[in-house]
Structures are given as C-alpha cells and as structure tokens.
Structure 1
Amino acid sequence: MSVSLTRWLPGLLLTAALPLLAHAEGPQYGPELQGFDYPYTLKHFAFQSQGQSLQMGYMDVAAHGKANGRTVVLMHGKNFCGATWDSSIQALSEAGYRVVAPDQIGFCTSSKPDHYQYTFQQLAANTQQLLKALGIQKATLLGHSTGGMLATRYALQYPDQVEQLALVNPIGLEDWKALGVPYRSVDQWYQRELKVTAQGIRDYERSTYYDGRWKPEFDRWVDMLAGLSNGPGKTQVAWNSALIYDMIFTQPVYYEFKDLKMPTLLLIGTSDTTAIGKDIAPPEVKAKIGHYEVLGKQVAKLIPQSTLVEFPGLGHAPQMEEPAQFHQALLGWLNKTNPVR
C-alpha cells in the first residue's frame, strides 16, 4: 500500500495543479477558435478549394441605421481576426452599411488545412465566392495589416466588383526581400510559431504596433491569438501560420499599387514600425524598413485616386487604438467618394 501511495500521490498533486497552471497561462481555444466569443453571430460558408472541403467563418451584420444599400467587406490582419473589427462593424452598421467580416482560410474560425497553397489570389477568390453566395455584387473593401495586402490583390483581381478601397496600416508598402531582409523558410517559420506565448505577443505588439504603449482592452485580442496558438490545434495552427508568413513575404503587391482603378484611402498610424522579418534583418536593413510615417506618403503617390489620412502618434491599429477618431475619418471619406449607383 505504501508503494502505491508513493507512486500515485505525485500524480494526484500534479493533476490538481494543472487547472491553476492553465489559468495562469491564459485561455485555450480550439483549432477554429472554438470557445472564443464573437461580437456578432458567427456563420460558416462551406466550399471546395484545392480539392478540399473547407469552411470560412464570417459575420454578416445588417445596417442598424438607415440602410444605404451599400456593403463594406472587412479583411483582417495576420495577428487579428474578424472579431477584432468589432467597433468598426458597429460604426459602419450604425451609418447604414451592411458589413461582412470573414475569417480567411488558415485564420481564426476558419479551416486550417494540412496542405494548402496560400496565395493572395486564392484568398481573394475564396472571399469572392463567399460574397457571391451572399448575393453581393459590388462592395467597398476595408483591409487592415495583411488584410490590406489581400484587399489590394482583390481590388486588382476583381476591379469591377470594388467600389472603394480603404487600407488601414497595410503591410506590403515595401518589398522586404528586395530591401535585403533574409528569407526565412516555412520550416523555420513553423518552429518559430510553435513557441508563441501570450507574453511574447504582447511584447511584440506593444513595441512594434503601439510605440511602447498598451491599453487593457488589447489583452482580449492577445488572449485570442495565444489561446488559438496554444490550444489543442497547436501544430495545425502553427503550420498554417508558417505558410501564411511565407505568402506575405514572397508575394508583394507593392509593384501594382499603380494599377488600382478605384478611389483608395490610406489610413496610417504613423508610429507603426511593422516589417516582416525585421527581427532577423541586418542592422542596416532593419534601420530602413517599417517606417509608416514615410511609407504612407510614398505609396499615396503611387495610387492614382488616393487619399492619405495620417494619425500622428497612433500605431498599427488606429481603428482599435482611437476608434472614434478613426471612424470619423473613414466615414467622412466613404460619404465623400460615394459611388453613383
């Protein structure tokens, strides 16, 4: 009996401690973000892509104000989800817009396939299938961060279906590999993504996104991302994340900004210093990339029908950092460039 107690007691003590450890490390969510609450009803769009049955999570929110008959499609960033658009969905809906906020394949509430060739063209085609199924023929696109690269590709791919294009601190305003940032293989990205922690996400976002500042409301989004990355689908999430980072680094849209045909708004928080691969770039390269106070002005000159709105002192996500200021600028431009139907 004494041997049996000696054998089992440590196990019992460890089991009892596990819930406390899990709580200390934050919540864990399923591979499609199961367990995380979205601000509006989450729906799912099932479709075939690359020989696979996949599904995209999305929110489709009707106009709560006087409906103007127009739709805004929101495209999230790499470290964000459709849910992080919550304040923008509310502001746009109250202003009379129908708002559709999908989670792209590989992200958040959508499928994480074992094998998938990620291209911005493919993600654009997936989104176009969703909008077609919803009966949306024309829309305004609002893309943030990596979603800005996707929105740009979508606008180039389906120009007749895009009335207006708005880009919020989009990445891809420069071509990092052409500027000397070293290539990181998918396997290297994968090993990096397996080590994601809530504290690491918070430290990165505080220093890169928000110029050293932090607001308590950002913690929910850190928990969302860390909970997805460290949940039961950890390896699935990390592998898809690695493939997506490779897509971002190797598929620049920078050279095609000049080909955009629709009115385009650049909404730029000038304190943002985001640049993919900056952490492994040589010092001389690191010093010259990710300067949004410069990049916004440069790219505004490349886009034929562009308007630049800068938010001095704000960071990578002005729509989350100062929602009222951001939405006033966005809605003012949307109304001013309202296409004639």
Structure 2
Amino acid sequence: MTTLRAASALLLSAALASGCVRSYRAEPPLSFQDFPYTSLQGQAWPLKRMALPKTAETYGLATVPEVAYVELNPEGPRTLVFIHGLGSYLKFWRYQVDTFAAQGYRVIAVDLPGYGKSDKPASFPYTMEAMADVVREVVLTLGIHRPVLVGHSMGGQTALSYAIRYPEEPGALVLTSPAGFERFSWKEKAWFKRVFSSVLIKSAPEYSIWGSVRQSNFSRWRPELEWLIEERVRVASTPDFDAYAYANVRTVDGLAHDDFVRDNLGHIQAPTIIVFGEDDRLIPNPFMHGGRAREIMEYGHAGIRGSQLTGLDRCGHSVQLDCPQEYNEAVSAFLKKLPASEEGER
C-alpha cells in the first residue's frame, strides 16, 4: 500500500509538472474567512457565529471561543446537525445542506473549533468528547430538541461520543464513514502522536495535497471538486493556517484514543444508520491495519442495537461528496422511517 501511494504521488507530481491538472500554488493566498460558503448554484449561505461560554468554563479556556455555522429552513419540524471530518469544514456538506433543507428539514452545519471559519484556540483539548460538548452547546443554545446528528469521519466519532454520553438527547444518528470503530494499540496511538506534526502539515507540497484529497478520499473524482484542492493550497500561506495545523495534530491524537466509543456502543439509544463507501482508502488505516472498510463498519453495526448498515459501491471515504446522489437517497430513506418529530416541544 505504501508503494502504491508513493507511485500515486509521483504520477500526480508529473501531472502537475505537465499541466495535466491545475496548479494553485501561484494563486494569491485565501484565508479561511474568505472561503466561499455557497450552494452548488453559487448562492451564499447565511453564516452565523455563536459564543461558547459553557465550553470555555468546562475546559478552562482563557477566552470564550466562537464557532461559525450555517442554518437553513429554521422553521423545519426536524433538525439535522451536520458535523464535518478531520481537516475539513462545513462546506464538505455542500451536496447535502440545500438538498435536505429543500426536503423540509431544518439544517445546521457547524465548523468545529480549529476548523473553517471558527476560532482555533490552542488551549482547546481537541478530543472527540470536547468536540461533542461543542456540538451539544450549539444544539442547546439553539433550543433544538432531539436533533439528528449527521457526522462524517471525525464528525461521526463526535456524534458517537455525544450519543453515548447523552443517550436520551439525539433523535437519530447518521454516521458517515465514521471514525471510532477501529481499534488502535497503545503503540499505534504513540506513533500517531510522534509522526503527525504542524510542520508536516504546513510543509506538504501541492502534489501530496492532491494525493491526500483526491486519491485517499475519492473513488469517483470529478473536476467540479477541485475547490477542495484550491482552498487547501491557497490557505496554507495565510496567518491562521498555523492554528489550523496545530488543531489537526491535536485532533489526530484525539481520534486515535477511541476506546471510550468502542467500549460503549451499547449505550446508544438513538436510531442509527452507518453509511460508508465500500472503496474507502482511509478506514481502516492503510499504514497499520489494511483490510476493508466493511469489516470496521460491521463492528460498529454489531455494537449499536438496531442500527442499519449501508455500503455504497465504488465510493470512497468522503462518500457524501464522492457519491452524493446515492448517499442522499440512503439518508433520506432512513429519515423517512423515523417517528414523527417531537421538535414542536422545544
């Protein structure tokens, strides 16, 4: 697998040099705050900010951090809260936010601390439990009753932590290629902590960004997704990228420490669907475990009573972007089976 990745990196480097794919390294810097958060038609989403005093108090932060979020169709009877994955931001739900709002759902998509347009406090712990506390504070502040938590990868592990610790609060879980099911030994956790560094993230050449995004996350890459590459390349030279890189390093360590989630899946009460790409190249970890994503997802499926397991063929890790039509259909069918929303009680 390592040899294959090295070969892919060489091919991408050659493609950049030959002009077969576009290079963005000569483009002017683009800050996180300038990222266009828009629909597929280019319409700007209404961006809001929320202070998190409870989070600041719980984790002893010197200042109260703020998170950015988007809200669509605020009068919808059932609320979907979209939680992004590692290294990404709420725009990774670009094919879902407007779609589900149009179906009548109230939609909230949040940038977690350290990511996107949210604050990036160095003193925040960046564990999945802390991330879950942030999501919960957003939910409670907005007065949302029994939200459907829709989490991708790291966001899936965040949703799992939320649902385990506060089992009566979520109305349902949509776990999208979730982290949290894979077992890591103490040696592997130590390796993650030793290997991942801010310098490594900041010094990544453009061809490796193409590889990490295009090759590792997608099975059906298409040109319309190149904004993922452009924004990642152009933001790397901006002042707040250091804080983002540090957040990533801390988060990777938090992700690896998933024993709490693995050992407590039986506490989850909410109806749950696990949707994943059968061609996921990131879960299980290709450098340590290898194997197929289905094996890992079946562990979670077996541990969560009554859960539904849906694998999508020829789809990669970022399945909601890679195969949006199939993903949206699977999630829509699951949501339609849920009991009538109780949000009128909020």
Give TM-score, length-normalised by structure 1: 0.83
User: What is the aligned partner in structure 2 of residue 287 from structure 1?
Assistant: 290
State the 1:299 CA deviation: 2.1
User: What is the aligned partner in structure 1 of residue 104 from structure 2?
Assistant: 96
User: What is the aligned partner in structure 2 of residue 268 from structure 1?
Assistant: 276
Question: Against the structure 1 CA distance between its residues 210 and 186, is the aligned structure 2 distance closer, same or farther, given a 3 Å change threshold?
Answer: same
- Distance of 1:218 and 1:188 partners within structure 2: 26
User: What is the aligned partner in structure 2 of residue 336 from structure 1?
Assistant: 337
Contact 1:75 1:144 in 2 (8 A): yes
User: What is the aligned partner in structure 1 of residue 70 from structure 2?
Assistant: 59
Amino acid at match of 2:162: Y
1:254-276 Cα deviation digits (max 9, x unpaired): 22222211110010111002148
- Structure 1 residue aligned with 2:128, among 110, 120, 127? 120
Contact 1:181 1:277 in 2 (8 A): no
User: What is the aligned partner in structure 2 of residue 208 from structure 1?
Assistant: 216
User: What is the aligned partner in structure 2 of residue 221 from structure 1?
Assistant: 228
Write out aligned runs for 1:3-22 (5 A): none
SS where residue 159 of structure 1 aligns? coil
- Distance of 2:238 and 2:212 partners within structure 1: 20
Amino acid at match of 1:311: L
User: What is the aligned partner in structure 1 of residue 325 from structure 2?
Assistant: 324
User: What is the aligned partner in structure 1 of residue 35 from structure 2?
Assistant: 36
Contact 1:45 1:56 in 2 (8 A): yes
State the 1:156 CA deviation: 1.3
Question: Against the structure 1 CA distance between its residues 340 and 135, is the aligned structure 2 distance closer, same or farther, given a 3 Å change threshold?
Answer: closer
Contact 1:177 1:183 in 2 (8 A): no
Amino acid at match of 1:106: G
Question: Against the structure 1 CA distance between its residues 199 and 230, is the aligned structure 2 distance closer, same or farther, given a 3 Å change threshold?
Answer: farther
- Distance of 2:181 and 2:195 partners within structure 1: 26
Task: Please say if 1:83 is aligned against 2:95.
Answer: no
- Distance of 1:161 and 1:233 partners within structure 2: 35
Question: Identical aligned pairs, as a percentage?
Answer: 23
1:232-255 Cα deviation digits (max 9, x unpaired): 223222212211111111234222
Contact 2:284 2:290 in 1 (8 A): no
State the 1:119 CA deviation: 1.9
Task: Please say if 1:193 is aligned against 2:206.
Answer: no
Contact 2:213 2:228 in 1 (8 A): no
SS where residue 53 of structure 1 aligns? coil
Amino acid at match of 1:204: S
- Distance of 1:321 and 1:221 partners within structure 2: 12
Contact 2:172 2:272 in 1 (8 A): yes
Amino acid at match of 2:241: K
User: What is the aligned partner in structure 2 of residue 230 from structure 1?
Assistant: 237
Question: Against the structure 1 CA distance between its residues 116 and 68, is the aligned structure 2 distance closer, same or farther, given a 3 Å change threshold?
Answer: closer
Contact 2:218 2:319 in 1 (8 A): no
Amino acid at match of 2:214: R
SS where residue 162 of structure 1 aligns? coil
Contact 1:270 1:293 in 2 (8 A): yes
User: What is the aligned partner in structure 1 of residue 316 from structure 2?
Assistant: 315
User: What is the aligned partner in structure 1 of residue 19 from structure 2?
Assistant: none
Question: Structure 1 stretches of 5 or more lacking a match?
Answer: 1-21
Amino acid at match of 1:262: A
User: What is the aligned partner in structure 2 of residue 19 from structure 1?
Assistant: none
State the 1:29 CA deviation: 2.8
User: What is the aligned partner in structure 1 of residue 251 from structure 2?
Assistant: 244
SS where residue 329 of structure 1 aligns? helix
Contact 2:80 2:148 in 1 (8 A): yes
Contact 2:213 2:229 in 1 (8 A): no
- Name the stretch that deviates more: 175-184 or 150-159: 175-184
User: What is the aligned partner in structure 1 of residue 18 from structure 2?
Assistant: none
Amino acid at match of 1:56: V
SS where residue 160 of structure 1 aligns? coil
SS where residue 87 of structure 1 aligns? coil
Amino acid at match of 1:46: A
Contact 2:77 2:341 in 1 (8 A): no
- Structure 2 residue aligned with 1:146, among 154, 169, 173? 154
Question: Against the structure 1 CA distance between its residues 297 and 25, is the aligned structure 2 distance closer, same or farther, given a 3 Å change threshold?
Answer: farther
SS where residue 319 of structure 1 aligns? helix
Question: Against the structure 1 CA distance between its residues 178 and 34, is the aligned structure 2 distance closer, same or farther, given a 3 Å change threshold?
Answer: same
- Distance of 1:103 and 1:84 partners within structure 2: 10
User: What is the aligned partner in structure 1 of residue 169 from structure 2?
Assistant: 161
Larger radius of gyration: 1
CA RMSD of aligned residues (A): 2.3
Moved over 4 A (4+): 178-182, 275-278
- Distance of 2:224 and 2:256 partners within structure 1: 30
1:43-101 Cα deviation digits (max 9, x unpaired): 111223133221100001116xxx65110000001132111212201111111100000
State the 1:141 CA deviation: 0.6
User: What is the aligned partner in structure 2 of residue 13 from structure 1?
Assistant: none
Amino acid at match of 1:295: I
